[in-house]
Amino acid sequence: MFIMLNPFYWWFCCDDDPLFHVYIIGGDGTMRGAVKIFDEIRRRKLNVAVVGIPKTVDNDVGIIDRSFGFQTAVEMAQQAISAAHVEAVSAVNGIGLVKLMGRSTGHIALYATLSSRDVDCCLIPEVDFFLEGKGGLFEFLDKRLKANGHAVLVVAEGAGQDIIPRTDSQKQEKDESGNPVFLDVGVWLKSELNKWWAREHPDELFTVKYIDPTYMIRAVAANATDNLYCTLLAHSAIHGIMAGYTGFVAGLINGNYAYIPLDDIASAKNPVNTKDHKWSWVRSVTNQPDFERS
């Protein structure tokens, strides 16, 4: 059974089944492109059906419960965190630093932190942080190293982009989609951690083990949960087209499979809500500060 969310577009050119089916699979940027394709098909009154299937490991597509690929990404991210924890524990004043995907949202970092239980601090794009001074990241890590002798730090790739120094040319740089080019927060943070320790504790041992599992996560085969979800999304998309609908996305809403207008999905966002219980769980698990300056 599928929930149908109006408005929907019925066939407008003829009473026959569509001659062509176009299945567009991807994240929010892909869905915005799908809207343009669909609008052009309508303008030309072509007998072509268009349907979107949300697939992005970042889980940044709005309205739906989750995107295909997200749970696999969290599972693989948890393995990277476990490796970072082993490396950190094995060194004197060791820090395991893991950079996870998430340009504009920190869902992977959040869920991987909650599932691993080895993370001391989680940094996401939705929450600003600072390094130096009271209440900053360095003060917190210093206390954690003194208490435990090691720490694990997880950072989403979009976190801290506003505090990384940039040249004028880097500030203007855009990628092929027109988005600002992000600098590598993991490499920068590793460098800043080493500088901080050399300055504050010059005679003490210290090491940062940096892990970037980006392509290990992107290239791995989907797990069983995502495989099942992908199959159901595919079936939903086909059933919707054969029922006479076009310009929609098949997705899960509150546990129910639904058909959502394509342009609604393309314009919706899915940031981490830092006011809800999930982020409170992260704060409870890690005991990290809120990074608000006094």
Helices then strands (H, E): number in the chain?
10, 11
Of 58, 120, 226, 263, which one is the catalytic site residue? 58
- Cα 208 to Cα 78, 97, 193, distances in angstroms: 19, 7, 8
Question: Rounded distance, CA 147 to CA 135, Å?
Answer: 17
Q: How far is CA 62 from the centre of its chain?
A: 12
Active site residue 290: no
What lies within 8 Å, CB to CB, of 175 at 6+ separation is 181
How far apart are alpha carbons 152 and 283 in whole angstroms? 14
- Measured CA to CA, the distance from residue 21 to residue 238 in angstroms comes to 9
Active site residues: 58
